[in-house]
Structure 1
C-alpha cells in the first residue's frame, strides 16, 4: 500500500466511525444539527444571512456507507455558510505595497503540503474590499476551479477573489480540524469531482458544495478522531520516507538488472547461437552490396571509408559467428535542421518535426511541434520513415533514443538512422540503449556534451546473424516485460 493510499484509508475509517470508539455519554450529532438550524433561522431573521433554497432530503441511495447511530448525515449547505469570493478589476489598480493593506489571498499563496494559509505575497487597498469578499482567521477556503476542492484554513484575515469559496459559521456543528479532514476525505472529494464535471475548465460552485453530503459525529468524538488522525499521520510520513527509499532502491535495482540483460544480449550470452544461421560475415557482404546499389541510384551519398576496427576498441568478446562493424556501415545516418524562424509560414503545419525533448526511449507517434511542407522544402531537415532509429546528439537529452512510429523530420540536435537490410532496427535500438553511457562519454570534454554524426558513425557495433538478432530482441522484450510487471 502506498503512503497516499494509507492516508486515504485512515481518513475513510475516520469518516465511517471506525477509527475511535463511540461514547454513549457524547451529545448526539442530531442535537448539533438542530442548534445549527436554529442559529441559521436566527441569522436570517436578523437579516445577517439570506434565506437560501431548501436543499433536497438525503436518500438512502446517496449514503455511501453506514455510520454509527449517534452520528448524522447532512448536506453541507445546511451546516455552514458558503460564499464565493470576488475580484476587484483591474486588480493591478487595487494592489498596494502598504504594510497595512488587506491581504490578497491567491492560489499561489498556498502550500500543497499544509492545511493553513499563513501569508500572502500581495495586498490590496481598502477600496478593493467593496468588490471582493472579506475572510477571517478560522474561515475555510476551497479552490473552486482548476485544482478544485482543496480546503485550507486561514490563519490570517484578508480578501479572496472569485476563484475561492468561503466556508464559515461551522462551529455549531464541527470541530475545525475535523471539518478539514472531512473535506479532504475521499468520499467528499469524489462528490466534488462528480459535481465539477461537464465543463472545459472544471468548476466547483457554491451550489455544488452545498449539495454535497457529509457526516457529523458528536462534537467530542470529532475531537477524539482528530487526535487519532494527527497521531497516525506522522507515522504515515515516516512510512512514506521508508517507502520512497525502497522505491528508489527498487528502481535502481531494476535499472541495473535491465542494463545487465542488455549487456548479456550484446555479448551473445542471452540466447544460444544456431550454427545453421548465416554468419554475420556473409551479412556484411550483402549490406555492402546494398549500400553500393543505393549510392549508384543516388539514394544515399558515398561517405569516406571508415577505419578498420582495432582490438583495443573492442569492449568485450563476441561469438565467432558475429562481427564487429562501425555504425556507419550498417545504416544511413543523418542529422536534421530547423527551418528559418524568420518564416512563420514554415511552422504550424501537419509535418511532425521532432526536437530531442520528444524522444522517450520508445516509439514516437507525435511531436510537440509541427512544420509545413514549405518548411521541409526550404530546409535540410531529415525525413525519417517508420522504423528509423533516433538519437539525441547534444544538450540535456544527449543519448536519448526513439523509434520512429510515423514519418517525421528532425532538428539538428537529433541524428536518425535508416538501417540497411539485414539489420533489425530493434536490435540496433537495444544496442544503443546498452551503450548509451559509452556514447555520452564520446561527447564529453567541451562546454556542451556533443556526440557528432561522425562520432556516431565511427562507434563500433556487435553484429550477429539476422535470425539471432530477432531471437535476441524477443528474449530482451520478454525479460523486460517480466521486470516491469514483477
Structure 2
C-alpha cells in the first residue's frame, strides 16, 4: 500500500473517488435478459483474474445477488477470501451487466480514476492486512465493513500518472511470471535429467566403460550371498529362520552381466510398522517421525512431534543408521511410496509413526549407499 510519507500526491478517502456498492435501477432491464453471473469461486485469489462466461437470466439474479458492471472493482469482504486476495477489475460482461456473490463489495471508480490503479491499491498486502484488522462478525464469518472502505485513504495522482504506475506494475509482474515459468521449466528438466541418469545407472549403462576396465569386480551374486548371510546371522525372530522373498524378474529389464534383481526384503533383516502412540508438539518424550518428516530420500526435522514423557521406545523400535522409512498409507496417493534413509546417527532417540513402515537394511556399505541413492527415483513413481 502506498504511504503518505513518501509521496506528494493528495490523499483522499476511497468514498470520494469511488462509489461503494452502487445501486442498480432494476426497472431498466427485462427479466429475460441474459447477464453474466460470477460466484466467489470464479474470482482467482491473488491474480486479479475472474471468469465471466457463466450467464443467468436477469429475473433469476435481480434479488439476492450483488450487481456490478464493466470496469467496477470487486473486493471480497469475507474471510478468508479477502485475505487471499480475491479482488478483480470486472472485464467485458454479457449485455454489460453482471451479478455475483453477496460477499463482494463493489467499487465503481469515478472519472479520473483508473480501475486498475484502484484494484492494485486495494489488493495490496498492506491494505488487506489493515482490512483484516477492521473485520467484524463471528469467527469464520468475519467481514470487512463498508465503513472501512469508505474511510480508507488512497493517494490520488493524476490519471496519466495512475496509468504509468499500472503499466510499470504489470511490466514487473510480467517479468516475474516469466521468471517463475523459467524456473519451473528448469526444475522439470533437472528432474528428467536426474531420472535419466539414475535409469542409466540401474541399467548398467552409466558404468559400462568402467566395468570393462574392471572385469574382476565382485559379481552381484556374491554380494547377495554376503547380504543373506548377514541377514540370517541377525535373525532374532520367533521360530525357524524364514528365507526372504525373491524377485520374479520375468518382465523386468535385462541387467548387465554380473548383476541381478533383489527384493527389499532380501536387503533388510527386519521390517515393521510404526507406533500408534498419540504424539504432539508439547510433549516431552522421544521424537516420533511422521509423514511430513519423510522427504524424497532424506529426513526433515523441521516439523517434529513427540511422544508422551512416559513413552518408552523398545530397542527394535528405535531408528538407527541404515533404516529405510517408507510411507505406506495416506489420504494423498501421491505420497505413498515416498521414502527416506537414516544416513547418520540421530541427535536424540527417535521412533516412527504407524503410517510408515521401516526396513532395517543389512549393514553392508554397498547396500545402504545404493538404496539411499535410487529408491525414490527408480521405485517410487508419484501418482498425482
Q: TM-score scaled to structure 1, two decimals?
A: 0.46
Pair 1:213-2:153 in alignment: yes
- Contact 2:295/2:338 (CA < 8 Å) preserved in 1? yes
In the alignment, the residues of structure 2 paired with residue 64 and residue 433 of structure 1 have an alpha-carbon distance, to the nearest angstrom, of 56
- Contact 2:268/2:360 (CA < 8 Å) preserved in 1? yes
Pairwise CA distance, 1:433:
3.9
- Contact 2:32/2:58 (CA < 8 Å) preserved in 1? no
Pairwise CA distance, 1:179:
1.8
Pair 1:141-2:58 in alignment: no
Pair 1:407-2:344 in alignment: no
Can you list the C-alpha shifts for 1:380-431, whole angstroms capped at 9, x where unaligned?
Answer: xxx9764552346897667521469653334xxx8641346x468xx83872
Paired position in structure 1 for 2:204: none
Pairwise CA distance, 1:203:
3.7
Pair 1:288-2:232 in alignment: yes
- Contact 1:117/1:152 (CA < 8 Å) preserved in 2? no
The number of residues matched between the two structures is 306
Task: Identify if the C-alpha distance between structure 1 residues 431 and 193 changes in structure 2 by more than 3 Å, giving closer, same or farther.
Answer: farther
RMSD value, Cα = 5.5
Task: Identify if the C-alpha distance between structure 1 residues 402 and 206 changes in structure 2 by more than 3 Å, giving closer, same or farther.
Answer: farther
User: Structure 1 or 2: larger helix share?
Assistant: 1
Paired position in structure 2 for 1:248: 185
Pairwise CA distance, 1:210:
3.2
Matches within 5 A, 1:304-383: 312-314=257-259, 327-332=264-269, 350=278, 360-361=295-296, 362-363=298-299
Instruction: Give the secondary-structure state (helix, strand or coil) at the position aligned to 2:6.
Output: coil
Paired position in structure 1 for 2:98: 158
Task: Identify if the C-alpha distance between structure 1 residues 258 and 196 changes in structure 2 by more than 3 Å, giving closer, same or farther.
Answer: farther
In the alignment, the residues of structure 2 paired with residue 119 and residue 306 of structure 1 have an alpha-carbon distance, to the nearest angstrom, of 58
Pairwise CA distance, 1:256:
5.2
- Contact 1:390/1:417 (CA < 8 Å) preserved in 2? yes
Match of 2:54 among 96, 116, 120: 120
- Contact 1:76/1:212 (CA < 8 Å) preserved in 2? yes
Match of 2:11 among 73, 83, 103: 73
Task: Identify if the C-alpha distance between structure 1 residues 84 and 386 changes in structure 2 by more than 3 Å, giving closer, same or farther.
Answer: farther
Pairwise CA distance, 1:434:
1.9
Paired position in structure 1 for 2:324: 389
Matches within 5 A, 1:298-309: 298=239, 302-303=242-243
Q: Which moved more, 1:170-179 or 1:194-203?
A: 194-203
Paired position in structure 2 for 1:171: 110
- Contact 2:246/2:262 (CA < 8 Å) preserved in 1? no
Task: Identify if the C-alpha distance between structure 1 residues 430 and 248 changes in structure 2 by more than 3 Å, giving closer, same or farther.
Answer: farther
Pairwise CA distance, 1:82:
2.6
- Contact 1:109/1:119 (CA < 8 Å) preserved in 2? no
Pair 1:105-2:38 in alignment: yes
Pairwise CA distance, 1:122:
4.7
Pairwise CA distance, 1:175:
2.6
Pairwise CA distance, 1:165:
1.0
Pairwise CA distance, 1:302:
1.9
- Contact 1:139/1:153 (CA < 8 Å) preserved in 2? yes
Pairwise CA distance, 1:245:
2.3
In the alignment, the residues of structure 2 paired with residue 349 and residue 328 of structure 1 have an alpha-carbon distance, to the nearest angstrom, of 26
In the alignment, the residues of structure 2 paired with residue 429 and residue 84 of structure 1 have an alpha-carbon distance, to the nearest angstrom, of 68
Instruction: Give the secondary-structure state (helix, strand or coil) at the position aligned to 1:312.
Output: coil
Match of 1:129 among 36, 39, 62: 62
Pairwise CA distance, 1:142:
0.8
- Contact 2:114/2:163 (CA < 8 Å) preserved in 1? yes
Pairwise CA distance, 1:73:
1.5
Pairwise CA distance, 1:217:
0.7
Paired position in structure 1 for 2:170: 233
Task: Identify if the C-alpha distance between structure 1 residues 131 and 332 changes in structure 2 by more than 3 Å, giving closer, same or farther.
Answer: same
Q: TM-score scaled to structure 2, two decimals?
A: 0.56
- Contact 2:113/2:159 (CA < 8 Å) preserved in 1? yes
Paired position in structure 1 for 2:305: none
